[in-house]
Amino acid sequence: MALDLETREQLIDTVRRFVTERLRPLEAQVSEDDAIPGEVIEEMKGLGLFGLSIPEEYGGLDLSMEDECLVGVELGRTSPAFRSAFGTNVGIGSQGLVMFGTEAQKAKYLPGIASGEIITSFALTEPEAGSDSANVQTRAIRDGDFYVLNGTKRFITNANKADLFTVMARSDPSKPGGGGVSAFLVERNLPGLSVGKPEKKMGQQGAHICDVIFDNVRVPAENRLGAEGEGFKVAMQVLDRGRLHISAVCIGVAERLLADCVAYASERKQFGQAISGFQLIQGMIADSKTEALVAKAMTMETARARDAGKSVTMEAAAAKYFASEMVGRVADRAVQIFGGAGYVADHGIERFYRDVRIFRIYEGTSQIQQVVIARETMKRGG
Ligand code: COS
């Protein structure tokens, strides 16, 4: 649902203040501790952040894609790990259920997802199914009123906290590729489901990814999401949406880094003047600003097209491709503008430089976005 302009302004203002006053002062500590304080998670719940995209009837804010992206930009103005705490509930962990769930499935899970009582996770990736996500090897064998799941999922965001997984598993081994894959809502406490230790990562400390192992996990057949064999399409449509959300976060990080660069360059003196007076510094700021504006225009236009009911697979891939590459360049220039101060930990610039690297990889690598863009462009004839 699209918000009226006043409500939208109020929401954005609330999120901006929360980010500025509450989250930004905690960035270094969260990175150090590799954990977000429990009271901050409770405040996020109170603000409704876990339910941004969940329909109102189930207790969420039911934001349009455009409004969600505007909020995503605000959330990008701090360490991306904070957003990750509720990012799966807003995006890949809930949207399969929102788009393809039965009334009974939605009534059972969505209120808890919207409030943050249920943490969700999206289990598609496997050791042999990363970019080639149709090559899912996890098996789902029908046994009466159950499916029995066996296999291993890898790099699953929020798996260590998740109560509910959307799991893609092969229900028909005679069909290779996406056609033999079904999606399931799998509760964490089912016997045989275990979660590995969080991986040590390059950045985004405070956000976690783990293996999820299924050892004869009996999932009630009523927890299948969508029709049998439709699981790959469920996953792809969830990702179409998720890619726009990630684009918005990339834009927010770029805007944050630009503000940091402008402040630092105005203060830092060399050759007897603030370095902001030097045109080579200005050139870097101009390039970063221009690219951030382009990414924002693409992302918002695509979000509005999606809200209008258009298929945006190609445009969402293009937005994610450009925005994630863009924020990599902006972070690189930020280190350059800060110089030695950007390379040491004190200003947090090197931390952002590491944090943004994953944007070019998760929810589809840049190379996968290129494949999606090229295929669709060739299909359309240009
Ligand atoms: N929406 C709806 N349906 C889609 C779709 C989309 N965005 N993308 C593909 N499909 C459908 C196709 O229409 C096709 O259906 P039919 O068999 O009925 O024709 C089916 O899914 C298979 O599609 P395709 O042939 O394009 O599959 P490929 O194996 O070639 O792979 C890519 C497609 C590479 C685009 C896909 O595997 C992908 O996105 N990989 C990256 C996955 C990813 O983002 N992983 C990140 C981890 S999850 S956080």
CB 203 within 8 A of CB 357: yes
67-to-41, 95, 180 alpha-carbon distances in Å: 22, 16, 35
Q: Which residue has the tokens 């610039």?
A: 349
Residue 3 has pLDDT above 90, yes or no: no
Q: What is the mean pLDDT of residues 349-356?
A: 98
Q: What is the pLDDT of residue 367?
A: 98
Please state whether beta strands 209-220 and 193-195 pair in parallel, antiparallel, or not at all (unpaired): antiparallel
Backbone dihedral region of 216: left (phi > 0), alpha (psi from -120 to 50 degrees) or beta? left
What is the rounded average pLDDT for all residues in the chain? Answer: 97
**What residue's CA is closest to ligand 1, atom 6?**
236
The CA–CA distances, whole Å, from 206 to 30, 144, 218, 219, 290 equal 6, 41, 32, 30, 31
Of the chain, the percentage scoring pLDDT greater than 90 comes to 99
Q: What is the structure's pLDDT at 2?
A: 82
pLDDT of 280 > 80? The answer is yes
CA 156 – ligand 1 centroid, Å = 19
Burial class (CB in 10 A: 0-12, 13-18, 19+), 59: middle
Contact assessment for residue 355 and residue 330, using Cβ atoms and an 8 Å cutoff:
no
Which amino acid residue places its CA nearest to atom 3 of ligand 1? 233
Of ligand 1's listed atoms, the one at least distance from the Cα of 92 is: 49
- pLDDT at residue number 261: 98
Q: What is the pLDDT of residues 95-143, one digit of tens each?
A: 999 999 999 999 999 999 999 999 999 999 999 999 999 999 999 999 9
Mutate to test the pocket of ligand 1, among 120, 232, 306 (most ligand atoms within 8 A of CB): 232
What is the C-alpha to C-alpha distance for residues 256 and 263, in angstroms, rounded to an integer? 11
Q: What is the value of pTM for the model shown?
A: 0.97
Kindly report the backbone phi and psi dihedral angles of residue 219, in degrees, each rounded to the nearest multiple of 5, phi listed first: -105, 125
> 120-229: what fold?
Butyryl-CoA Dehydrogenase, subunit A; domain 2 (2.40.110)
Strand partners for 285: none
Identity of the amino acid at 372? V
Cα–ligand 1 centroid distance for 181 (angstroms): 12
* Residue 6, number of CB atoms within 10 A of its CB: 8
How does residue 27 score in pLDDT terms, banded at 50, 70 and 90?
very high
Atom 12 of ligand 1: nearest residue by CA position: 233
Q: Judge whether 27 and 37 are in contact, CB under 8 Å.
A: no
State the number of CA atoms in the 13 A half-sphere of 73 facing the CB. Answer: 20
Question: Which two structure tokens, joined as six digits, stand for 54?
Answer: 């969940």
Q: Whose CA is nearest to atom 10 of ligand 1?
A: 233
190 alpha carbon to ligand 1 midpoint, in Å? 29
Q: If pLDDT is split at 50, 70 and 90, which confidence band does 351 have?
A: very high
pLDDT band at 319 (very low <50, low <70, confident <90, very high): very high
Confidence label for 185 from pLDDT (cuts 50, 70 and 90):
very high
Contact 137, 126 (CB under 8 A): yes
Percentage of residues of the chain with pLDDT beyond 70:
100
Instruction: Assign domain 5-115 to a CATH class.
Output: mainly alpha
| pLDDT (tens digit per residue) in 201-243 | 999 999 999 999 999 999 999 999 999 999 999 999 999 999 9
- Asked if 182 and 231 count as a contact pair (C-beta separation under 8 A), the reply is yes
Pocket-forming residues, ligand 1, beta carbon under 6 Å: 92, 122, 124-125, 131, 133-134, 177-179, 232-233, 236-237, 239-240, 313, 362-364, 368, 371-372
Whether pLDDT at 375 is above 80: yes
Environment class of 200 (CB within 10 Å of its CB; exposed 0-12, middle 13-18, buried 19+): exposed
pLDDT of 138: 98
Q: For the chain, give every domain's residue range.
A: 5-115, 120-229, 233-380
CA distances from 34 to 169, 202, 284, 347 (A): 31, 12, 32, 18
Q: What is the pLDDT of residues 136-181, one digit of tens each?
A: 999 999 999 999 999 999 999 999 999 999 999 999 999 989 999 9
pLDDT value of residue 236? 96
Alpha helices in 268-339 (DSSP H): 279-307, 313-338
Residue whose Cα lies nearest atom 43 of ligand 1: it is 364
Count of residues making up the chain: 382
pLDDT tens track for 52-99: 999 999 999 999 999 999 999 999 999 999 999 999 999 999 999 999
Q: What are phi and psi of 163, to 5 degrees?
A: -105, -20
Q: How many CB atoms lie under 10 A from the CB of residue 377?
A: 12
Does the pLDDT at position 1 exceed 90? Answer: no
Are the beta carbons of 75 and 83 closer than 8 angstroms? yes
Query: How many Å apart are CA 141 and CA 239, to the nearest integer?
Result: 25
User: Looking at the domain that runs over 233-380, which CATH code has it been given?
Assistant: 1.20.140.10
Distance (angstroms) between ligand 1 centre and the Cα of 149 equals 22
Q: Which of 101, 96, 132 is nearest to 237 (CA)?
A: 96
